[in-house]
Structure 1
Amino acid sequence: MNLNDEVKALEELERAIASGNQETIAKVAVANILPLYHEHYELLTSTVDRLPSKLIERFPILRFGHRMTPVLARTSRPFKPLIDPDAARTMSADELDVFTLVQMISFRFSGDVSAALVYARRLEDRILDVRVESRERVDGPLWFYHYEIGSTLLAAGDSSRALLEFSTARQLGRLSRQRDAERLALCRAALAHALRGSLDEAESALAEAALHPPPTASHVAASRTTEASAAALIAVERMTDDVDERLAELDAYDSVQLTWPFALLARARLLLARQRPGEALEAIRLAKDAHPVQHGSVASDVIAATLIDALCALGDSATAWEIAGSSASVGNMTRFAIIRLALHDSRFDVAAAEIRRLAGDSTLSPNQRAKGILFWAWLEVAEGADLDASTATQIHRLAVTGSIRRLLATVPRQLVDRVRAHLSGEELAEFDAATNDLTHFAMKMRPILTPSELRVLSALPTQPTTAAIASAFHVSPNTIKSQLKALYRKLGCSTRHEAIKIATRHRLLVHDGEVDTIDRLAVGPQNKRLDVGVH
């Protein structure tokens, strides 16, 4: 298999095309797939496009060079190539490397990131355990293997491991004849840094990538969309004056590029920071409907987290809690969205339990650690406690970096005022400059109810009598009367009709499923039940 000689690859493919034998064309294209892909992309794709489907089915590697593959993979025909074990035993080490690479990319195309990770690990194991001469050549494909493994890890949300792969790809790319190698690795590293909130590192990587030659045809879309997504995330987090220009450079919501979840994240975050949750919700749903999203991917984490944030901002807490409870595999972005939802709904024990759990996670990114500090401060203020002076100092130090302006735009005005109260002189001036032009919402203190009281309250509109409520919950009428007495006292009313009106105004009416979700989320680390909403 020819993995590095683009001149030989071109000559062999041109001879095969001249012969007119489609079987020969397919075999030659497979044998030279990587140099053709990197250096003669337009010839490769135009050749593969003309081959009959039945022939391509016999040579699944050719799907890698078919321009319809990414589109079909996310819509009607998932591309998930498998190989018979007997056939695998007849393949050379180079052929197995390339086929594993194509499997990893193909499953990623199809939205099955969990399976793509399996092939990424398999390719990693082959690199470590199986010595192959072609990988040890400076003009070999090893840089591309590490680049695609890193891209798969990034698609799975594992940005720290992805950065290690991109670093290796970049170092190998410096030695490669492939002129795109270093630029591709740099721009993907920039995106990983931007996702983590390491904005200075992301900016530096983008600036260095721009010093390299423009990408070739096979990589121009990947390079352009990656650099645009990284730049957009940086601009959104800093809320810069050119943020709208950066977002205008993003691909459409239905892009087939790996970067579509990051583009969605930038769009949704900006709209939510500008208090336009309805538009954010529309953007999220359009992107969600346009792609196959499976659990275990950064896409599923982005969609769940931004949906919860948008619904929370719209006042639809019930649906937001349903999404929180239905997410089979919850990523850290979703967990922080659940904390925000709990804070908005005055379910402070849920928020506190999640903040404590995440505080012990050593893999948190800089952005997530900043969120943890802000959310803990929000919790202190919401519970009526005095904001700790050291917490105010931490927030000041984060604010003056300019990297958390978006986060600061999403916290309540009361928290900003409490931080300012602890600052003076130069520190206060710096903090005011960091929060200048940001619009904050006013936190409303809602009645704090237990899960049992929430159930009884939500039954009032549908159950006509106390006896009916008791029957529905399989408890005694006296228990319901006691809960109603406590409920009316907390709501400041004395009748069922008044309670329903107050509950509607404060968005306290919930469904049974939502209460079950809150119950499940409010279980502490030792499986001890926490009384949700009780100080």
Structure 2
Amino acid sequence: MTSFVVRAPDAAGNPIRGVPMHRTRALQHALDHEEWESVDELLDADFYRYLATEPAVLNRVFDALPEEWFDAHPRHAMSAAIAAAVDRPGMVLKRESVTAFRRWVESQPTPAARDVLGVQQAELRELLAHGWYQNASRLVDGILHTIRTGPQCPQGLGDVMPSVLLRCGLAKLLAANLTAAAECFADAVRWGTLTEEHPLAPYAREHLALVHALEERYTDAVALLSPETPALRRPGTLQYHYEPAGILARVLISTAALDVDAAAEQLQHIDDAIVEGDLGWVAMHARTRVALMRGGQWDLIHRINTLLATGSNRTSPETIAGSVLRADLAGLYQSVDDLRAADSVLGSAGLLDRPGSLVIPLARQALLRGKPKQALSLLRQNEHTRPETTPSRHLPTGAVLYATAELAASGDVSPTTLQLAATAVNHHGAYSALTHASRGLRERILPLTSLDSTAIPEPWSYRDRAKLTPREREVLAALHAHATINDVAAALHVSPNTAKTHVRALYRKLGAHSREEVLWLGQL
């Protein structure tokens, strides 16, 4: 019989890539005729393909199999446990199933690589479900070592590897190692396309696209995604667990293209399961980007504060979720001109210093306070001590901020800095980076970009650089040292009315509205 791959609908009627038709018929035939040894061979070769494309047939097989058959075939007892776990968040397996399977694997003189990986992946699922991301990342290192050392028995690896590597990539992503995450997802794509395409290969591409989008490589992300947004799968399917990455990647790409309407429409597909899942922080990150362009910042400020207060270790400052959400929160506060609140957020103890995440809001904060030289210094930091990472000022947003700071500090921007910013925006399709440009920079950079529209949102209003005169610094020092206007006047050797005039002028120059704010804005 000729082997060919079909596009069969799933339970919701959506076309998905299936296992070769002759294997599907073979499994149904083996089930109908109770040919259990044939079932053994078919599941060994294509369990995850059946789980993705023929879950109903697979469940009928497991329901029909005698209990003693599972005792003689522990691998398929584990497979049945995996199929049952599809209905649970994180697909966490029951502890007794994992324990029984681990004992069997450890009893083998030379365990098959797929079985060792099965035990490790079950443990990985549980670590991720509890939010123990660093422990999960260390376990992934062990899993990758198992893969690299060359299995004694490669049978069935083509079927299980896309699932294993997808889970490994997710663990690395949540542990803030985006480079390792991208490598895992790329390997999942390669394993999933060695022969006929594995049904999980498209989801591996979407996860890789999400990593690219989080790192502002939107053009690369677009190349990995299908041109049409796929219909959503129903809960209780394998696809339902994997599809959030593609949905979120598409939202981030739309915001990068300044297509806020498309992004808002795509956000409608984000349900409670996504918000409460491993990638819920990306959903909130996407909503923040839309709010910064369209409005509604205060709603997001309250939602993020609630999430940070209730997220426990999943959103602690040293996690990627916690660092991204706090950077977003700072950006929202900056957009409503509450720089003191932004400063407090950015000063969170233990905040993860991931390239491009913390530096950007810190540099933007410096610009908003009229301190462009400080912004330049922040964007140049770590270039020599961390040569393995792309400098923040070479990323699209960092490049635009750097050009803005250079223009504010010197009154001009060098051709090299301007070209770096323009080419970074064009090459990566990161047009949202232009929202970080001052009006003066926009006049210079827009002619160099391929952006059709000049209607760019302006979430932030940068202050002109405040240059205090020696006398103004004396007034500031007196305000810092004395609580009353009479004491300030005495320190300055002027009358109280003259002191009031000096203080009011200082307020206007710094854009302050209170004594506390003028002291904060006037810090060197």
- TM-score for both structures, normalised by structure 1: 0.69
Query: How far apart, in 2, do the equivalents of 1:119 and 1:351 lie?
Result: 38
- 1:70 aligns to what? none
- 2:358 aligns to what? 334
- 1:473 aligns to what? none
Compared with structure 1, are the counterparts of its residues 29 and 308 closer, same or farther at alpha carbon in structure 2 (3 Å cutoff)? Answer: farther
| Alignment deviations for residues 13-67 of structure 1 (CA, whole Å, 9 cap, x no partner) | 4367879xxxx98x7997436643676766x869x99x9xxxx5545579x9xxx
- 2:375 aligns to what? 351
Q: Secondary structure at the match of 2:358?
A: helix
- 2:405 aligns to what? 379
- 1:102 aligns to what? 122
Q: Which runs of 5+ in 2 are unaligned?
A: 1-39, 51-56
- 2:320 aligns to what? 298
Partner AA of 1:282 in structure 2: H
Residue in structure 2 matching 1:242, options 262, 266, 269 = 262
Offset of residue 313 of structure 1 = 1.8
Moved more, 341-350 or 303-312: 341-350
Offset of residue 185 of structure 1 = 0.9
Offset of residue 111 of structure 1 = 2.2
Query: How far apart, in 1, do the equivalents of 2:518 and 2:120 lie?
Result: 47
Query: How far apart, in 2, do the equivalents of 1:126 and 1:453 lie?
Result: 67
Contact 2:45/2:159 (8 A) holds in 1: yes
Compared with structure 1, are the counterparts of its residues 382 and 321 closer, same or farther at alpha carbon in structure 2 (3 Å cutoff)? Answer: same
Residue in structure 2 matching 1:32, options 76, 88, 97 = 76
Query: How far apart, in 2, do the equivalents of 1:352 and 1:106 lie?
Result: 43
Q: Which runs of 5+ in 1 are unaligned?
A: 65-82, 468-476, 519-531
Offset of residue 306 of structure 1 = 0.4
- 2:466 aligns to what? 447
Query: How far apart, in 1, do the equivalents of 2:246 and 2:166 lie?
Result: 15
Residue in structure 2 matching 1:267, options 273, 287, 290 = 287
| Alignment deviations for residues 510-533 of structure 1 (CA, whole Å, 9 cap, x no partner) | 699x89xx9xxxxxxxxxxxxx74
Query: How far apart, in 1, do the equivalents of 2:499 and 2:274 lie?
Result: 50
Offset of residue 186 of structure 1 = 1.3
Contact 1:413/1:441 (8 A) holds in 2: no
- 2:63 aligns to what? 14
| Alignment deviations for residues 162-188 of structure 1 (CA, whole Å, 9 cap, x no partner) | 222112111211247894221221111
- 1:314 aligns to what? 336
Compared with structure 1, are the counterparts of its residues 375 and 124 closer, same or farther at alpha carbon in structure 2 (3 Å cutoff)? Answer: same
Offset of residue 325 of structure 1 = 2.2
Offset of residue 461 of structure 1 = 7.8
Query: How far apart, in 2, do the equivalents of 1:300 and 1:33 lie?
Result: 38
Compared with structure 1, are the counterparts of its residues 12 and 409 closer, same or farther at alpha carbon in structure 2 (3 Å cutoff)? Answer: closer
- 1:509 aligns to what? 516
Partner AA of 1:330 in structure 2: D
| Alignment deviations for residues 192-251 of structure 1 (CA, whole Å, 9 cap, x no partner) | 122222222212211179799979954222333111101100000111252321222223
Residue in structure 1 matching 2:345, options 319, 323, 337 = 323
Contact 1:373/1:395 (8 A) holds in 2: yes
Compared with structure 1, are the counterparts of its residues 321 and 492 closer, same or farther at alpha carbon in structure 2 (3 Å cutoff)? Answer: farther
- 2:22 aligns to what? none
Residue in structure 2 matching 1:119, options 139, 143, 146 = 139
Query: How far apart, in 2, do the equivalents of 1:415 and 1:492 lie?
Result: 38
Query: How far apart, in 2, do the equivalents of 1:434 and 1:503 lie?
Result: 34
Moved more, 316-325 or 502-511: 502-511
Offset of residue 288 of structure 1 = 3.2
Moved more, 239-248 or 172-181: 172-181
Compared with structure 1, are the counterparts of its residues 331 and 410 closer, same or farther at alpha carbon in structure 2 (3 Å cutoff)? Answer: same
Query: How far apart, in 1, do the equivalents of 2:514 and 2:99 lie?
Result: 54
> Larger relative contact order (C-alpha < 8 A, sep ≥ 6)?
1
Q: Secondary structure at the match of 2:413?
A: coil
Residue in structure 2 matching 1:409, options 435, 438, 445 = 435
Query: How far apart, in 2, do the equivalents of 1:180 and 1:465 lie?
Result: 77
| Alignment deviations for residues 385-424 of structure 1 (CA, whole Å, 9 cap, x no partner) | 212233334444445568232221232212213446xx6x
Contact 2:233/2:240 (8 A) holds in 1: no
- 1:206 aligns to what? 225
Q: Secondary structure at the match of 1:326?
A: coil
Contact 2:407/2:413 (8 A) holds in 1: yes
Compared with structure 1, are the counterparts of its residues 415 and 274 closer, same or farther at alpha carbon in structure 2 (3 Å cutoff)? Answer: farther
Partner AA of 2:377 in structure 1: A
Compared with structure 1, are the counterparts of its residues 320 and 120 closer, same or farther at alpha carbon in structure 2 (3 Å cutoff)? Answer: same
Contact 2:394/2:420 (8 A) holds in 1: no
Matches within 5 A, 1:62-81: none
- 1:188 aligns to what? 207
Contact 1:264/1:287 (8 A) holds in 2: no
Q: Secondary structure at the match of 2:131?
A: coil
Partner AA of 2:203 in structure 1: L
Query: How far apart, in 1, do the equivalents of 2:77 and 2:329 lie?
Result: 41
Moved more, 260-269 or 350-359: 350-359
Q: Percent identity, aligned pairs only? A: 15
